[in-house]
């Protein structure tokens, strides 16, 4: 089992992973946030059999499936806080609207601490920050608050 990181000038970074049984996988992370997952032949670890493009939201969802409880939990004075990543999808009623329109903090108690956009990050966005389809909200709050905000942003 092992990993290797290779810079790809002008493109991004390739991360290669070899499983305990010798299978070779790779993830190419482009500078613009796109990712490609590559699967290599077991009998020839240099021959890529298939690639799967992943949006940032796809990559986050896959990471959650692989590790459903990453180091998100923060313990502060007896209060359990978690962080979450909430994608703004086409189904969201908030694409193109102001962050303040969500009423996030007053409705759920959760705080949006950053917005990740395809090519940039926006820390501590104010209520006048305009959300876009494809953004990912980085939020902090109780599990219930983060779950409630996920439902609100998702249009549920």
Domain ranges for the chain: 2-54, 74-154
- What's the rounded Cα separation, in Å, for the pair 91 and 136? 14
pLDDT of residue 34: 78
Per-residue pLDDT for 121 more than 50?
Answer: yes
Would you say 152 and 86 are in contact if contact means Cβ atoms under 8 Å apart? no
Contact 146, 116 (CB under 8 A): no
Comparison of pLDDT for 84 and 75, the residue scoring more: 84
More confident residue, 110 or 9: 110
Judge whether 126 and 97 are in contact, CB under 8 Å: no
In the prediction, which pLDDT does 69 show?
55
Q: Are 123 and 155 in contact (CB under 8 A)?
A: no
Whose CA is closest to 73, among 140, 24, 129?
140
pTM over 0.85: no
The string of DSSP letters for 60-115 reads HHHHHHH-SS-TT-EEETTEEEEEEEEE--TT-TTTTSBGGGGTHHHHHS-EEEEE
Top-confidence residue, 77 or 9: 9
Band the pLDDT of 96: cuts 50, 70, 90.
very high
Q: Which of 1.10.510.10, 2.120.10.30, 2.60.40.10, 3.30.70.1450 would CATH assign to domain 74-154?
A: 3.30.70.1450
Residue 75 pLDDT greater than 80, yes or no: no
User: Edge-to-edge strands of the sheet including 2-8?
Assistant: 2-8, 12-18, 24-30, 35-40, 48-54
Task: Flag whether pLDDT at 77 surpasses 70.
Answer: no
For residues 127 and 100, is the Cβ–Cβ distance under 8 A? yes
- What is the per-residue pLDDT across 49-70, written as a single tens digit (0 to 9) for each? 899 998 777 777 787 777 665 4
Portion of the chain with pLDDT greater than 70, in percent: 89
Rounded to an integer, the average pLDDT of 5-24 is 83
């Amino acid at each position: 089992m092992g990993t290797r990181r290779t810079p790809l000038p002008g493109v991004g970074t390739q991360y290669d992973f070899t499983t305990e049984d010798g299978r070779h996988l790779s993830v190419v992370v482009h500078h613009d946030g796109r990712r490609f997952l590559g699967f290599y032949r077991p009998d020839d670890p240099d021959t890529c059999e298939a690639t799967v493009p992943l949006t940032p939201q796809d990559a986050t969802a896959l990471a959650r499936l692989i590790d459903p409880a990453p180091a998100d939990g923060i313990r502060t004075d007896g209060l359990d806080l978690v962080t979450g990543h909430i994608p703004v999808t086409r189904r969201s009623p908030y694409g193109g609207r102001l962050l303040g329109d969500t009423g996030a903090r007053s409705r759920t108690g959760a705080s949006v601490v950053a917005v990740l956009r395809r090519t940039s990050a926006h820390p501590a966005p104010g209520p006048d920050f305009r959300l876009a389809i494809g953004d990912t909200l980085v939020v902090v709050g109780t599990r219930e608050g983060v779950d409630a905000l996920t439902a609100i942003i998702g249009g549920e």
